[in-house]
Structure 1
Amino acid sequence: MKKTLLCSAAFIAALGACAQPNPTAVKYAKYITVDNAKKHLTIIAADDMEGRETGKPGADKAANYLAGEYKKLGLLPANNGSFFLDVPLTSTSFKVNSVSVNGTALTVGKDYSALSGGGTQTINASEVVFVGYGSEAELKDLDLTGKAVMVITEPKPGADASISPMRAFGRVAAALMAKKPAIVLGVGAVAPVTGAGSERIGLKPATPHPVVTRALVLSITPAIADQVLKASGKTYADLKSAAGQPQTFKADVKASAETMVKDAKAVDIVAYIPGSDPKLKDEVLVFSAHYDHIGMEPEGTKGDRINNGADDDGSGTTGILEIATAFMKAKNDGKGPRRTILFLGNVGEEKGLLGSEYYSEHPVFPLEKTITDLNIDMIGRRDPSHEGTPDYCYLIGSDKLSTTLHKISENANNTYTKLAVDYKYNDPKDPERIYYRSDHYNFAKHGVPIVFYFDGVHADYHKVSDEVSKIDFPLLVKRTQLVFYTGWDLANRDERPVVDVKNDMPASR
């Protein structure tokens, strides 16, 4: 005898645990496959993409690949006949041209590296003020205006071991900047790396910002610190052992640096499937993922220089290509989505969510007609806390603006994929502030409901070791299918998610 399980309507509405799978959705979810995902990701995260850094040739190459794939699938270009939405950017480069100590020229990458600075400037200092660890007590009564300053970058004994040397030095440098020195020489734990300057990319402002002169902050080796102190008869070790009392020494420190500002250009990818329902086709569901990554390590770096970004966010970019494939198969069979679907490939995420910020201010479809953004950023790996556990996914933001969306999301997982959903990063008090660190944020801040899919932070995050060989493709596919099923419901249901929640996240990043 067959046992029949009856569920109350209220229970179904609350949990979605007894919802019946939609056979049509199941049919097309099967077009999301390991083989296809591996094919796309192997190309997107290949060495010849050079780490897909925004504003560089590798990112352009990745953008062209994505546009070509969407065109082959049959999606339509969303920006006046183009798959590209230009994102106007400004590149501000700060370059140190020369540094010398007591008449000896220093070599970048060997003796020093530039950590920060601004403006075009020439520095000629005849003395150096040693400020120990740069503590509040050591800096309290010092006048450092226009002077050269030497500071220990190693953590002070007894300091919080969880704070990295670079982060700790950043705090000290900020305190020093308030005293307006000409140049800061940081010695110790923050080791010099290849690179004589830095480049900052941002959205091009309507009115150009003035270039601000800021103190040059260098990281130098203890050997160079000894060279600075040569005339004093003391060594850096001597000063370090007696830190606590600032001292001033005669020394000849020279440096020159310049800031250059120029326009840069990058593109978001905008491809869409038009809705089939005359009553709903003006409403838009967005699937988003950023295709950019952090580029290459500086010239001279030993070993592998290419940050392939297979997981971050080659995996998410692959995911939305696979979702587009599934929806287009459905459309070609006469089962196209009732609402319009936009596949948004964001550029500049690693530079500060630039592509999604620009899109949110210059959308190709009105934001008031945008019902949800389903954003995928890293879905191909496991983090340390989930090694050896059942298949999982972090979900972030599903309940922050809409109770409807949260129920849809839960129902999709309970009905189809049955992943272990982890809401750790959904906590407003979580110190990682993951909610603010990917492109969904620029939709949420405009009141568009969002879900962010994430696998956590693993050992290869933002390293050259984030390679395709480490991707768990069956898990990537399963997570992608969860996003697809959630999107299938959103694209085809009668009512859009209601915005009925006051977001409990802090208002700004």
Structure 2
Amino acid sequence: MKKQLLHLGLVLLMGCSATAQNKDAIKYGQSITKDNAHKHLSVLASDAYEGRETGKKGGWMAADYIKNHFKGLGLKGPVAGDYFQPIDMVTISLSQVLTIDGQPAEVLQDFYVAQQVVSGSGFAFNTNSIVFAGYGLATDGYDDFSGLDVTGKVVMIFKEGNPSGGTVSGNASSALNAKLKYFNDHKASAVLLIDAAVDKMSANLKNYLLSEQMVMKTKENLERMNKPQPMPVINISTAIANKLFVAAGTNADALKKKIAESGKPASQELKISLSASANKIETKVKTDNVLGFLEGSDPKLKKEVLVITAHYDHIGVNPNAPGDDKINNGADDDGSGTTGVLMIAEAFAKAKKAGRGPKRSILFMTVAGEEKGLLGSEWYAEHPVFPLENTITNLNIDMIGRGDKEHASDNNFVYIIGSDMLSTDLDRIGKKANKDYVNINLDERYNNRTDPNRFYYRSDHYNFAKHGIPVIFYFNGVHEDYHQPGDEVSKIDFPMLAKRGKLVYFTAWELANGLKRPRVDKNDDGSIKK
């Protein structure tokens, strides 16, 4: 009797185990392999693609490769019949001029204007009088502004330091912001900051100041860009300041010494002509999200859409990188995730051709501009091709080809982030799919909003989550080649890339074929909805 009952129990358990797996899901997922992954990634992360930077040749090549793959699978182009969703994006650079008594100064040697402090189309001014206001401080027993009226005046101050000749204690940035606020509140027309950093400008600072700012023309960004400029702020070298101090027969060092020794301000008006301008130059950037659409088979459920994403862009070429290799190939970040999306799309496309397609629709989307600030996914969220209210979940793949030092002894893992942030249903479905089909160690150490790394906020899923759409972010952690030329195809763990890709695929299968969409039962702060 006991033996027979035990045998019957085993049969029942085996039966339960079998029914937990869908034979069609397993059959059509067989194309998600290490060899298929290598085929795609060896192209996308090759030197020929030049690091796939947004708005550059390599990025366009990657977009074309993905489009052709989607088209070859028979996926639909859902953007008015096309696979590309154009992003309204521009780069902004500054044309800067500064002259003293008609003599031009040299940008990045004598002065600079930070692009971030210029709004609208730019500024231009000229003056025959400059007010020197020492360190721009007003404290007990010392007041650089005593007897000064800065209204409508160009004001010059030392950016750093204090009347005693030492350094300013506390946060230097906050101290400077307080000074600039004073001048803005008192309606100064412009501020010149005597900045020692300009005297010996580092290569990194020069590269930063010369870099173009990439901006999407969203409503919010346009409002910010066109907001009236409070006042121009120009950082100048000590040499340029001394050319201005000639009008008073002195120089910067002499004034610092005088203030330190007397303990009194040396504020004064300098009669000298100066003109300055900074004009923004906008250049249109060609960049697109790449979308492939597979329509669901169920007449009632096909309006609901599962979105599977990865970003195909990376950071391009760095001419200043040490060594001979200057190309940031981005094999793991995020060539691996893009490869995962291509393979998952192929598996579902084969299922549909065989009459076993998903009940709900699936949008496969590789986005641009993630490395510039999650721009492509933000653009889609603000200009959705399918209504966000019909979007049931976003599964986002960003780095699944390697591992980190925390898992050096066993790479059979993946970090999952966000799965229980908004929906307990999604969390359950994702973990059950792993248990039923893949059996990867699901590491949730970063699955919280207070993680110092802020991974929940640092990839494209967040632009869905902030609209109340449940998400899962799949991630293999940061390694020593993160954003470095060493992120090469040769270092990819292709069996694990395929295995992690299968986890996303099987999770997607369950979501696309489930009786109900995942219920959003949590608020944005993680509290349970009532």
Q: Is the 8 A contact 1:347 1:355 kept in 2?
A: yes
Match of 2:191 among 182, 185, 202: 182
Shift of 1:424: 2.4
Shift of 1:101: 13
Match of 2:350 among 329, 332, 339: 329
User: What is the CA–CA distance in structure 2 between the aligned matches of 1:63 and 1:254, rounded to whole Å?
Assistant: 46
* 1:119-130 pair list within 5 angstroms: 119-121=122-124
Aligned in 2, Cα 1:248/1:158: closer, same or farther, shift over 3 Å? closer
Q: Is the 8 A contact 2:434 2:503 kept in 1?
A: yes
Aligned in 2, Cα 1:279/1:289: closer, same or farther, shift over 3 Å? same
Q: Is the 8 A contact 2:137 2:179 kept in 1?
A: no
Aligned in 2, Cα 1:245/1:74: closer, same or farther, shift over 3 Å? farther
Q: Is the 8 A contact 1:225 1:236 kept in 2?
A: no
Match of 2:53 in 1: 53
Match of 2:210 in 1: 196
Aligned in 2, Cα 1:232/1:183: closer, same or farther, shift over 3 Å? closer
Shift of 1:486: 0.6
Shift of 1:177: 4.2
User: What is the CA–CA distance in structure 2 between the aligned matches of 1:5 and 1:126, rounded to whole Å?
Assistant: 95
User: What is the CA–CA distance in structure 2 between the aligned matches of 1:416 and 1:99, rounded to whole Å?
Assistant: 70
Q: Is the 8 A contact 1:113 1:193 kept in 2?
A: no
Shift of 1:296: 3.7
* 1:313-392 pair list within 5 angstroms: 313-392=334-413
Q: Is the 8 A contact 2:307 2:362 kept in 1?
A: yes
Match of 1:454 among 475, 478, 495: 475
**Quick check: 1:443 aligned with 2:459?**
no
Q: Is the 8 A contact 2:192 2:236 kept in 1?
A: no
Number of residue equivalences: 483
Match of 1:87 in 2: 87
Aligned in 2, Cα 1:300/1:376: closer, same or farther, shift over 3 Å? closer
- Percent identity between the aligned chains? 40
Aligned in 2, Cα 1:4/1:396: closer, same or farther, shift over 3 Å? farther
Q: TM-score, normalised by structure 2?
A: 0.75
Shift of 1:114: 5.9
Q: Is the 8 A contact 1:311 1:379 kept in 2?
A: yes
User: What is the CA–CA distance in structure 2 between the aligned matches of 1:152 and 1:206, rounded to whole Å?
Assistant: 34
Aligned in 2, Cα 1:81/1:200: closer, same or farther, shift over 3 Å? closer
The secondary structure found in structure 2 opposite 1:496 is coil
Shift of 1:405: 0.6
Q: Which has the higher helix share?
A: 2
Q: Is the 8 A contact 1:94 1:199 kept in 2?
A: no
User: What is the CA–CA distance in structure 1 between the aligned matches of 2:100 and 2:35, rounded to whole Å?
Assistant: 56
Q: Counterpart amino acid of 2:155?
A: K
Match of 1:205 in 2: 219
Match of 1:162 in 2: none
User: What is the CA–CA distance in structure 2 between the aligned matches of 1:84 and 1:305, rounded to whole Å?
Assistant: 29
Q: Counterpart amino acid of 2:389?
A: E
Q: Counterpart amino acid of 1:182?
A: V
User: What is the CA–CA distance in structure 2 between the aligned matches of 1:460 and 1:226, rounded to whole Å?
Assistant: 46
Q: TM-score, normalised by structure 1?
A: 0.78
Q: Is the 8 A contact 1:85 1:267 kept in 2?
A: yes
Q: Which has the higher strand share?
A: 1
Shift of 1:142: 5.6
User: What is the CA–CA distance in structure 1 between the aligned matches of 2:212 and 2:42, rounded to whole Å?
Assistant: 30
Q: Is the 8 A contact 1:311 1:381 kept in 2?
A: yes
Aligned in 2, Cα 1:416/1:207: closer, same or farther, shift over 3 Å? closer
Match of 2:303 in 1: 282
Cα deviation code 1:406-438 (max 9, x no counterpart): 001111222232222222222222233222222
* 1:31-180 pair list within 5 angstroms: 31-97=31-97, 105-106=105-106, 108=108, 115-116=114-115, 117-118=117-118, 119-121=122-124, 131=135, 146-151=154-159, 174-175=177-178, 177-179=180-182, 180=184
Q: Counterpart amino acid of 1:85?
A: Q
Unaligned runs of 5+ in 2: 162-166, 185-189
User: What is the CA–CA distance in structure 2 between the aligned matches of 1:97 and 1:233, rounded to whole Å?
Assistant: 23
Q: Is the 8 A contact 1:403 1:500 kept in 2?
A: yes
Match of 2:453 among 417, 421, 432: 432
Q: Is the 8 A contact 1:186 1:218 kept in 2?
A: yes
Shift of 1:186: 4.7
Cα deviation code 1:185-229 (max 9, x no counterpart): 554598333353532312343995426446446597x99999999
Q: Is the 8 A contact 2:97 2:105 kept in 1?
A: no
Aligned in 2, Cα 1:224/1:266: closer, same or farther, shift over 3 Å? same
Cα deviation code 1:242-287 (max 9, x no counterpart): 9x99987999998653212355443211111121223322221110
Q: Counterpart amino acid of 1:178?
A: K
User: What is the CA–CA distance in structure 2 between the aligned matches of 1:126 and 1:284, rounded to whole Å?
Assistant: 62
Q: Is the 8 A contact 1:307 1:463 kept in 2?
A: yes
* 1:8-47 pair list within 5 angstroms: 20-47=20-47
Match of 1:488 in 2: 509
User: What is the CA–CA distance in structure 2 between the aligned matches of 1:55 and 1:479, rounded to whole Å?
Assistant: 29
User: What is the CA–CA distance in structure 2 between the aligned matches of 1:352 and 1:416, rounded to whole Å?
Assistant: 34
Unaligned runs of 5+ in 1: 160-167
Aligned in 2, Cα 1:219/1:104: closer, same or farther, shift over 3 Å? closer
User: What is the CA–CA distance in structure 1 between the aligned matches of 2:244 and 2:439, rounded to whole Å?
Assistant: 63
Cα deviation code 1:139-180 (max 9, x no counterpart): x96669843444469xx8998xxxxxxxx7765654554345
Shift of 1:100: 8.8
Shift of 1:448: 1.7
User: What is the CA–CA distance in structure 1 between the aligned matches of 2:45 and 2:89, rounded to whole Å?
Assistant: 24
Aligned in 2, Cα 1:196/1:256: closer, same or farther, shift over 3 Å? farther
User: What is the CA–CA distance in structure 1 between the aligned matches of 2:19 and 2:239, rounded to whole Å?
Assistant: 69
Match of 1:420 in 2: 441
Shift of 1:384: 3.4
Q: Is the 8 A contact 2:98 2:104 kept in 1?
A: no
User: What is the CA–CA distance in structure 2 between the aligned matches of 1:466 and 1:172, rounded to whole Å?
Assistant: 40
The secondary structure found in structure 1 opposite 2:41 is helix
Cα deviation code 1:389-409 (max 9, x no counterpart): 442222111112211110011
User: What is the CA–CA distance in structure 1 between the aligned matches of 2:214 and 2:242, rounded to whole Å?
Assistant: 32
**Quick check: 1:310 aligned with 2:341?**
no
